[in-house]
Structure 1
Amino acid sequence: MKYNHLFENGRIGNLVLKNRIVMPAMGTNLAGPNGEITDHQIAYYEERARGGTGLIIVEFTSIEYELGKGTMNQLRIDEGRFIPGIHRLANAVHKYDAKIFVQLHHAGRESNSQLTGGKQIVAPSPVTCAAVGEEPRELTTAEVKDLVNKFVMGAFRCKISGIDGVELHGAHGYLINQFLSPNTNVRTDEYGGSFENRMRFLEEIVVGIKEKCGEDYPVTVRLSVDEFDEGGQDVKLSKEISRYLEKIGVDGLHASAGNYNSMDKIIESMLFEQGWRVYLAEEIKKEVNIPVITVGVIREPEFAENILSKGRADFIALGRGHIADPEWAKKTLEGREKEIRKCICCLHCTRSLAHVQCSVNVRAGRELEFNEIKPIGEKRNVAVVGGGPGGMEAARVLSLKGYDVTIFEKDNKLGGQLNLVTSPIPKEKMNWMIDYHRNEMERLHVDVRLNTEASVEMIKSLEPYAVFLATGAKPIIPDIEGNDLTNVCDYEDVLLERKAFRNKRIAVIGSGMVCYSVTRQLAAMGNNVTLVDIPTTTGEKVSAPTRLMLLNRLKKANVEIFEGQKVAKILANSIIVEDELSALQLELEVDHVVLSMGTEAYNPLEESYRKHFHNVYVIGDANNPGSITNAIKDGFEKAFVIESLVLKKDAVEELVETI
């Protein structure tokens, strides 16, 4: 397919961009302990520039570190000593004919006292953000004017550093957003009250930057077109704001959504459809003549091209899509769409407190650590037992290194546990992952043997250099009296349709994405379903907003939900649930009980294989069950360092023989 719109030149102000693909600002935690640029950070952004992106907007960067921080080691531009590092970053990106903006930021009431050294957080007004739970101190008029100057000087330092433009973070409930929103700005001075007064803070920043950096220096604003928070900024108000911003000289608008009280609208789970936020950009584009950037679960090139061709936006921002695959643009331009590793919205990147990480791209944030896949230069065979995500990732990396890889998969298809997801929107995303790896197996000429249980004799015939056991996981059967009764089954029985469930009374026990999917599927089949929501390891991996959304959907499907209960006993026609606090018991009549308590390692081959093969490595769920993240990370890392593992083992065995 041709992408005439995606790869035509774009323009923000007088700045010409080589295409319409933008990497939006996303925190990485790769900055140094004092907010300085690091080599890891430069490598991270350089890889995205090398991958063909037209504009990279660097993560939110503090203009006032004492009270304005959003994270512990946030990038800074509040002092001149940070200019050299930002300059190095700009040069690294410019090598690839990409442009670079820096997003200027102050957290306002969405900071917290842990970040400010115990000092009270500040905001336009003393209105507490429920998600933070700390009442802010109202900024004085003099402090507001000082912050205007700090934003302006931050932009000026960016220009000195060789940065092509700046984006003002006026979205997601941060300080500028707080001034714009009538919900958070109830000031009575010149910066509050009327619409014009609420605009004054941002207007003075924009005008100040243009005066200090020149009228031609590009300034864009990121807006939460809808905060999805009662009393906050909505589409109607954002249209008025956008018209005003165009009038005062803003060069472009970046249409986002949400604040900390509606975090699920900022960073979406896999329950959100592709491009669900595009309508917000479309509404703003109707109001202004300056370019509008759209964002929000845009994953497929054809989908992105369609947005542009219909005039719904001027630029496509791919956020987590750039974390998952830094070569998204390059692969699209070269017609290699099947090779794109799409983000699956698993939210792993939001959970890491160390640095940016990605379930499907182990190299994200670790580009210097895994700098180059070096070919081995000789013929070696490797056997991989199991065609789930961990096994396929190991096979992919081993093939890139030059190994001849054979996958043995006992099922009739690749994908492992990913094939068990049935809910339509999450299933689409799991299929993206399966399709990517399946295509890589074909492209890299991996010998995939489906419907084949790997016997020792089969593996021996390959004379393998190493064997990777990626045999996956099996359902956990909890230690509950009655778990072996005939009316008890596990989630696989439902998802693989091993048993028929129609018009039955069914109790589902467990928690987590698979559990909720199974529960909803059973309800959709016309069953009377009760969910006993019990904490599990897999359930802990579901974010609180996503869990709430899932449980609400189940309630709308007439599922009865018990929380704070445990199952004391399973009987032939009922279960006994017990309140964890009062110990009161209740008997629920059911026809079937479905256990969905997560998974445990399934590793039946290791012991026997070690008797026959020199180098055996257990990876994925067979080693550390419960997540795609662990499986792919394990497969990638073991494959990447396999020669070192083998050499180390050989050295140890040689030493033992000597002794």
Structure 2
Amino acid sequence: MNYPNIFKQGKIGKLTLKNRVVMPPMGTNLAGPEGEVTDQLIAYYEERAKGGTGLIIVEFTCIDYEYGKGFIRQLRLDDDRFIPGIHALANAVHNYGAKVFVQIHHAGRQSNSSLINGKQIVAPSNVACAAVGEEPRELTTAEVKELVNKFVQTAIRCKQAGIDGVEVHGAHGYLINQFLSPEANLRTDEYGGNFENRMRFLEEIIIGIKENCGKDYPVTVRLSVDEFIEGGIDLELGKDISRYLEKLGVDGLHISCGTYDSMDKVIESPLFEQGWRVYLAEEIKKEVNIPVITVGSIREPQFVEKLLSEGRADFVAIGRGLIADPEWVNKTMEGHEAEIRKCINCLHCIHSAMGNSHVLCSINARAGRELEFKELQHLPSGENRRVVIVGGGPGGMEAARVLSLKGYDVTLFEKNNKLGGQLHLVTDPIYRKKMTWHIDYLSNEMKRLNIDVRLNTEATVEEITAFNPYAVLLATGGRPMLPQVEGNDLGHVYTYEDVKLQEKVFTNSKVTVVGSGMICHGTTRRLAEAGNDVTFVEIPTKASKRIGAETRLRLLEKLKQVNVEIVTDHRLERILPNSIIVEDPLSGKHSEIESESIIVAMGVEAYNPLEETLREQMENVFVLGDAVGYSSLGEATRDGFEKAYFLESIVTHNREEEGSQTV
């Protein structure tokens, strides 16, 4: 398929972009401890530029590290000493014909005291953000004017560093958004009150940048044109703001929505349809004549081409999709759409970057680690090595993919009639579609790389050793975990697999589901929709820790809509023939829930029946993924990738260890 609109040149101001794909700013936690550019940060952006992206907007960059910090290791440009690092980043991106902006940012009331050395956070007014839970100090008029100058000075440094333009962050509930919003801005001076006064802070920033960097230096503004909070900016007000900014000389608008108090609209879970918020950009585009960038879980080239051809936006921002596959643009241009590793919205990148790590991806093990995994080490010319992999889940297929690219002959055994493993257990219709993208991608890679895949074949030790393989990778997965309580072996106790694989069909039955996590929620909803009387007892599991608070609430709300009775904050004590006993750990009170059937969805435990026997007969036997005890897609993918990438080193290390022990 041709994509004439995706690959048509576009302009933002007088700057020409080679295509219509934009990488939006996303926090990575790859900056140094003082907010400086690191080699790894450069490598991360360089990879996306190399992949064909037209415009890269570098993650939110702090203009005031004392009060404006919004992230643990947030990039900063509030001092001249940070210019060389930004300059090196710009050069790396420019080497591949991409253009680069920097998003300039102040967190305002969406910072917190722990980020700014215990100081009180600041805002237009002393109105707290509920999600943060800290009351801010109202900025003085003099401080507001100084912040205008700090935004302008940061933009000047961007230009000095060779950055092609700046994006002013006026969205997602941060400081500029707070000035724009009637919910957050209750000021009575020149920066609050009526519409014009609420616009004044951003207006002075725009005018200051244009005066100091030149009227032709591109400036875009990212806007939440609907905050989805009571009393905040709605779409009609968002239109007014957009028209006003066009008159000020802004060169483009990057249309988003939400704040920390409506975070599920800012960073979508798997339960959102592809491109669900494109309508916001479409409405703004009707109001202005400057370029409009749309964003929001956009993954498929056909979808991008269609919305551009329909004139719903001028540019399309693909965010997490470029974390999952930096080559999205090049693969689209070359007609290799089936090879695109599409983002599944699992939020692993968000949780990792907001935790103690940096940006990571559950389906792309190289994301954020580009310097560790530069190029695959190919086998010496003429050398053939056979590797056997047992298990066609995501970990096994990822290992097969990498080993094949390195030149190994790979045979993969899968006992079922299809590849994908536990990825098939996702039942939510919207999430299932996304998970099917990943199954299709990996399955296509098996065909493209001519990997010897043997379906409907449960590998035996004899079959494996007959290959005389260089190595064996066991990715035999896991099996549903049962709670270690009295009654777990009763005949009316089933697992989520029994439900999802329809080995047991439940209709008009009184059912209790015990567990947590995405699969658990999907199982519960499926049972309720089938007409059963369902109680959900939420028991914390490893899987539940990977679900954000906003997503969990959204999932619970979905269960309520199908009349599921929900019990949280209780412990499962025992299972009886016609009921279960749960305990409230705070009060110690026990309750009985009547049930005809109990469904357990508490995650998986390792299933690894071959390792012990194989190790008696051969060297180089490795276990990966759920078979080791991992329980997430991200862990399985990473383990499969790393064991394949470092296979020779691991083998050599093990032989040296054995040799030293022999001596």
With structure 2 as the length reference, what TM-score do the two structures score? 0.98
CA distance in 1, matches of 2:37, 2:590: 58
Deviation at 1:287, TM superposition (A): 0.5
Secondary structure at the residue paired with 2:43?
A: helix
CA distance in 1, matches of 2:158, 2:422: 47
- Give 1:365's aligned residue: 368
Are 1:139 and 2:117 an aligned pair?
A: no
Residues 580 and 593 in structure 2, CA contact (< 8 A), matched pair in contact too:
yes
Higher mean alpha-carbon deviation, 587-596 vs 141-150, is at: 587-596
Residues 473 and 621 in structure 2, CA contact (< 8 A), matched pair in contact too:
yes
**Aligned residue identity for 1:447:** D
Residues 388 and 464 in structure 2, CA contact (< 8 A), matched pair in contact too:
yes
- Give 2:429's aligned residue: 424
Deviations 1:68-104 (A, max 9, x none): 1111221111111111111111111111111000000
Deviation at 1:422, TM superposition (A): 1.1
CA distance in 1, matches of 2:636, 2:338: 22
Among 537, 541, 552, which residue is 2:557 paired with? 552
Are 1:496 and 2:501 an aligned pair?
A: yes
Deviation at 1:534, TM superposition (A): 1.2
Residues 387 and 469 in structure 2, CA contact (< 8 A), matched pair in contact too:
yes
- Give 1:65's aligned residue: 65
Residues 537 and 598 in structure 1, CA contact (< 8 A), matched pair in contact too:
yes
CA distance in 1, matches of 2:343, 2:178: 31
Among 646, 649, 660, which residue is 1:655 paired with? 660
CA distance in 1, matches of 2:251, 2:486: 67
CA distance in 2, matches of 1:547, 1:220: 34
Deviation at 1:283, TM superposition (A): 0.9
Residues 103 and 169 in structure 1, CA contact (< 8 A), matched pair in contact too:
yes
Q: How does 1:146-295 map to 2 (within 5 A)?
A: 146-295=146-295
Are 1:127 and 2:165 an aligned pair?
A: no
Deviations 1:450-477 (A, max 9, x none): 0101111211221111000000011111
Deviations 1:298-341 (A, max 9, x none): 00000111110111111000010111000000000000001101
Among 468, 480, 491, which residue is 2:485 paired with? 480
Q: How does 1:565-576 map to 2 (within 5 A)?
A: 565-576=570-581
Among 434, 441, 448, which residue is 2:439 paired with? 434
CA distance in 2, matches of 1:476, 1:625: 13
Count of aligned pairs: 658
Are 1:589 and 2:594 an aligned pair?
A: yes
**Aligned residue identity for 2:370:** E
CA distance in 2, matches of 1:632, 1:577: 36
CA distance in 2, matches of 1:509, 1:135: 39
CA distance in 1, matches of 2:584, 2:608: 36
Residues 362 and 633 in structure 1, CA contact (< 8 A), matched pair in contact too:
yes
Q: How does 1:112-123 map to 2 (within 5 A)?
A: 112-123=112-123
- Give 1:19's aligned residue: 19
With structure 1 as the length reference, what TM-score do the two structures score? 0.99
Residues 69 and 116 in structure 1, CA contact (< 8 A), matched pair in contact too:
yes
Deviation at 1:578, TM superposition (A): 2.7
Secondary structure at the residue paired with 1:649?
A: helix
- Give 1:342's aligned residue: 342
CA distance in 2, matches of 1:26, 1:303: 22
RMSD (CA atoms): 0.9
- Give 1:447's aligned residue: 452
**Aligned residue identity for 1:295:** V
Higher mean alpha-carbon deviation, 478-487 vs 248-257, is at: 478-487
- Give 1:101's aligned residue: 101
**Aligned residue identity for 2:536:** L
- Give 1:613's aligned residue: 618
**Aligned residue identity for 1:367:** E
CA distance in 2, matches of 1:313, 1:502: 47
CA distance in 1, matches of 2:609, 2:321: 37
Identical-residue share of aligned pairs (%): 67
Deviation at 1:36, TM superposition (A): 1.1
Question: Could you list the runs of 5+ residues in structure 1 that have no partner in the other structure?
Answer: none
CA distance in 1, matches of 2:573, 2:35: 52
Deviation at 1:40, TM superposition (A): 0.7
Question: Could you list the runs of 5+ residues in structure 2 that have no partner in the other structure?
Answer: none
Residues 461 and 610 in structure 2, CA contact (< 8 A), matched pair in contact too:
no
**Aligned residue identity for 1:636:** F
CA distance in 2, matches of 1:579, 1:81: 56
Residues 181 and 233 in structure 1, CA contact (< 8 A), matched pair in contact too:
yes
Residues 624 and 631 in structure 1, CA contact (< 8 A), matched pair in contact too:
no
CA distance in 2, matches of 1:91, 1:477: 54
CA distance in 2, matches of 1:567, 1:614: 43
Residues 456 and 612 in structure 1, CA contact (< 8 A), matched pair in contact too:
no
